[in-house]
Structure 1
Amino acid sequence: MGILKQGVAAAAIGLVAASSTTSAWAEFPDKPVTLVVPFSAGGPSDKIARDLAEALRKPLGQTVIVDNTAGAGGTIGAARVARAAPDGYTLLVHHIGFSTAPALYKKLPYKTLEDFEYLGLINEAPSTLIGKPGLAANHFADLRQWINANNGKVNIANAGVGSASHLCGLVLQASLPSKMTFVPYKGTAPAMTDLMGGQVDLMCEQATNAVPQIEAKKVKVFGVTSQQRMALPALAQTPTLAEAGLAGFEMSVWHGVYAPKGTPAAVLAKLNAAIRAALKDPDLIQREEALGVRVVTDARLAPAEHKKYVEGEMRRWAKIIKDSGETAD
């Protein structure tokens, strides 16, 4: 066979192979898709993932299951997805902790930037600084004086090392001259229970989970971590921590969706399109806004921009975590 004929034959084989690969995924998904949440059921990330799962059903044409695989600050669930078959049927919904884990943990069972396909950032949620109901302070200025007067004696709860409440507490600690004692729990629910019961003093928790307790007056609220005040009725009169005295303070908890590395491009394109459609669902938007969560509509919905954003967050948090000395084993 001549060189020209060999080239034509090779090209033809390549086209057939490409066509076969594309057609093999033409029916995706033809079975339920699983969203792995690396945190306990009932927490903020779980609520967000369940809202997303419901909104994804229509554009995907399939049932979407939420599976909680909690532990080690979200790293166990993330590792599970990194090892899953790269077929688009097992996805990860992870929050800001996805970008902080490399700095918090000496050894991760996966590589954050290499073992996943990035599918898009989906939302951002501010947190609230809340305190036990019997706390003497009623405003942040009073609280700040109380923390300074009790240097090292103030307890601040979190849902575990690497959780959003832990990270928010680190930013708060970095903004204050006085030290606080971090008290980690195995999840948001037990931490919130002890805060309401007065066993701990403070908690920096997502508005998603704090608003019901604030409305029921089971905790005191001292500020929100967003750049602007929140429109939620329960928080409309609550100042941002920046305007309350911590200049430049801002911390949002974002969530993104990820697939195992090597997932076919055709599948990734379908998943990204479905996520974009889900985030335009009026019911989803209404549910998210009711929780104080903003649905992402900007360029970070694109996989490349999502990954670029996470890289920037990794650099930002690496310094904060190093300065705090708060790392996991």
Structure 2
Amino acid sequence: MLRRTLMAALAALPLAGPVAAQPAWPTQPIVMIIPFAPGPIDGVARIIGDAMGRDLGQPVVIENVPGAGGTIGVGRAAQARPDGYRILMHNIGMSTAPTLYRRLAWDPVRDFEPIGIMNRNPMVWIGRPSFPGTTLQEMTAYLQRQGTAANLAHAGLGSSSQLCAMLMQAALRSQATTVPFRSSGEVFPELNSGRIDLYCDQTTSALGQVQGGTVKAFALAAPQRLPMMPAVPTTAEAGMPDFQLSIWQALFAPAGTPRAVVDRLNRALRVALADPRVVTRLNELGTAPEPEATGSPEALRALLVSEVARWKPIIEAAGEFAD
């Protein structure tokens, strides 16, 4: 009797089918947060993001979240759900913010999972069209001779242009007056009109100005000349071999994002950066993709930790902080 009851109960159960396979990640669009207002950096992000989307099978959508030198957008990314659907594109400012901002709500190492380095943009020293000189030696001599009467623009606290200005001021023991703006877009009209003497900017921002002849270009802070600026010598060629600065840009995910998701994003990034069409378009913007050898999440984490340590004493010596 008991056996017949059990058999009847088993017969009433639905037949077991194969276990449903989990859909491959990702299954929805990915948002790439850029912690700055729309500008040249968006061009790089869209080129790489579009190529990543093709590999991932889902679009990568750009979301600009500007404010407070990029710290607002980074904070939003840090608080995102750690599922890989909201990631952050940031640059060297990720490593300088902990020193520049005394009340930072996030930590670049603790609160993020590195995905990979995207590209590096060399910095280029440029000046007003009427600047009295054409070489880096003439530029540095002017800074030392004019003292506080000379002025250097930068695009705001924590910007790459501010970091470049800090390095030059320290190298020359210059007393030039620094003039902060909110973006590089605000600097160029003042530079073109002659109200600003000098500015150091990323090649992706300055390329059009240099090619158009609306500014004077003195030197590229990189080991080799740039094909899109062939007439601009490197700082090494111009007599300052130790003055080099390239601004890296990289992708990060919120802390706690599964390693499998981080690896999938890194793989899509590496596929994108190996695409000849992407390489060509990045070169046209004045930048180049990060080599495969330094493209891992571990390489980005090591770079971030070393950059935090590198910039801390430089920023503290300059004494430029946010409250």
Deviation (angstroms), 1:177: 2.5
Amino acid paired to 1:324: A
Between Structure 1 and Structure 2, how many residues are aligned?
Answer: 305
Answering whether residue 49 of structure 2 is matched by residue 63 of structure 1, we say no
Q: Which runs of 5+ in 2 are unaligned?
A: 1-18
Q: Equivalents in 2 of 1:322, 1:300: separation in Å?
A: 29
> Match for 1:255: what amino acid?
Q
- TM-score, L = length of structure 1: 0.89
Please point out which of 172, 176, 183 is paired with 2:179.
Answer: 183
Give the counterpart of 1:119 among 99, 115, 119.
Answer: 115
Q: Which of 201, 206, 210 matches 2:206?
A: 210
- Residue identity in the other structure for 1:293: T
Specify which of 30, 35, 38 is matched with residue 33 of structure 1.
Answer: 30
Aligned partner of 1:52 in structure 2 is 48
CA distance in 1, matches of 2:303, 2:210: 32
Deviation at 1:242, TM superposition (A): 2.9
2:75 to 76, 79, 96: 79
Query: Do structure 1's residue 270 and structure 2's residue 267 form an aligned pair?
Result: no
* Offset at residue 274 of structure 1 (A): 0.8
Q: Is the 8 A contact 2:153 2:180 kept in 1?
A: yes
Structure 1 residue 293: Cα displacement:
1.1
Question: In structure 1, what is the equivalent of residue 131 of structure 2?
Answer: 135
Asked if structure 2 preserves the Cα contact closer than 8 Å seen for 1:51 and 1:284, the reply is yes
The offset of 1:229, in angstroms, is: 2.0
CA contact (8 A) 2:270 2:292 kept: no
State the AA in 2 paired with 1:72: A
Corresponding residue number in structure 2 for 1:230: 226
Answer with 1 or 2: which has the greater Rg.
2
**1:204 Cα offset (Å):** 0.3
CA RMSD, 1 decimal: 1.6
Matched, 1:259 2:256: no
Runs of 4+ with deviation above 6 angstroms: none
Instruction: For residue 271 of structure 1, report the CA deviation from its aligned partner.
Output: 0.9
Task: Using the TM superposition, give the Cα deviation of residue 220 of structure 1 relative to its aligned residue in structure 2, in angstroms.
Answer: 0.6
Q: Does 1:166 align with 2:143?
A: no
Cα drift, residue 28 of structure 1:
1.8
Partner Cα separation in structure 2 for residue 236 and residue 217 of structure 1? 13
- Give the percent of matched residue pairs that are identical in Structure 1 and Structure 2: 38
Give the residue type in structure 1 aligned to 2:139. L
- The one-letter code sitting in structure 1 at the alignment partner of 2:91 is H
- The match for 1:327 is 321
Contact 1:300 1:309 in 2 (8 A): no
Shift of 1:108: 0.9
Q: Amino acid of the residue matched to residue 178 of structure 2?
A: F
1: distance between equivalents of 2:212 and 2:298?
A: 42
